[in-house]
Structure 1
């Protein structure tokens, strides 16, 4: 899957999971900025989710790496890092590296695009499911970095 522009942002909300296993979320709303442009704070799909304390929402957006964290090696291994979104929310990215490739060489200041599930926390929240689903039951997620897509 190619990512056309990291500037494009979309939020897909659902209230009761996936409909009929089709891979499509119920209820879709989209907010976007011009392709190729830097997202403005008002274009941040995470900000309203954080402010509304919402969880279980598939979200697509971008952020700048603010901190690299140690991998989580308990159970499925996850590469972990913090992104700051255009609206100033700090989110944890938990990327399953048993399923998808690691972003080797990721550094503070890098811009990363993402598609995954958002879970609210008072610290900003977590985005996970940033990989394909080997069982085909969940919407595929991804990370986009330096012109490559990791799924």
Structure 2
């Protein structure tokens, strides 16, 4: 008998919007699929160890910060990204004391996980 795909866990816990994301942060929640929008506060160096990730910090309207870790081995890098730019997102939220981390911002090639994406200047990166 085959095991259930891990995606079932993530599909049960989806939140949308800034207020719900802030609530998840306040409650120390993780493993949530989240949708939202923020402004790029800071561009960070790409993480080139293991799977490569583009990293940057978003500031949400609530004031919460969110570290984005976008897998550029699976999805295209956003080369035109600049501080102050608006980015829409869908991905998995993991709590930390600084505001949280957003990852899985791409399609899951194994289809085990809810697909995510980033959108910048009308272009979707998934």
TM-score (norm 2): 0.89
Q: Deviations over 1:89-121 (max 9, x none)?
A: 001000000000011110011010110000000
Of 27, 33, 41, 1:52 maps to 27
Task: Assess if the C-alpha contact under 8 Å between 1:120 and 1:126 holds in 2.
Answer: yes
Task: Assess if the C-alpha contact under 8 Å between 1:46 and 1:85 holds in 2.
Answer: no
**Residues 76, 21 of structure 1: alpha-carbon distance in 2 compared, 3 angstrom cutoff:** same
The aligned runs of 1:92-107 (5 Å cut-off) are 92-107=67-82
Q: Matches of 1:28 and 1:72 in 2, distance apart? A: 28
Give unpaired runs (5+ residues) of structure 2: none
After superposing on structure 2, the runs of 4+ consecutive aligned residues of structure 1 that deviate more than 2 Å are 20-32
Q: CA RMSD in A?
A: 2.0
Number of aligned residues: 123
Task: Assess if the C-alpha contact under 8 Å between 1:64 and 1:111 holds in 2.
Answer: yes
**Residues 67, 137 of structure 1: alpha-carbon distance in 2 compared, 3 angstrom cutoff:** same
**Residues 22, 56 of structure 1: alpha-carbon distance in 2 compared, 3 angstrom cutoff:** closer
The aligned runs of 1:14-25 (5 Å cut-off) are 20-21=4-5, 23=7, 25=10
Deviation at 1:45, TM superposition (A): 3.0
TM-score (norm 1): 0.75
Greater fraction of residues in helix = 2
The reply on whether 1:112 has 2:96 as its aligned counterpart is no
Give unpaired runs (5+ residues) of structure 1: 1-19, 33-42
Of 105, 120, 135, 2:110 maps to 135
The reply on whether 1:81 has 2:65 as its aligned counterpart is no
The reply on whether 1:125 has 2:106 as its aligned counterpart is no
Higher relative contact order (CA 8 A, sep 6+): 2
Q: Matches of 2:36 and 2:61 in 1, distance apart? A: 9
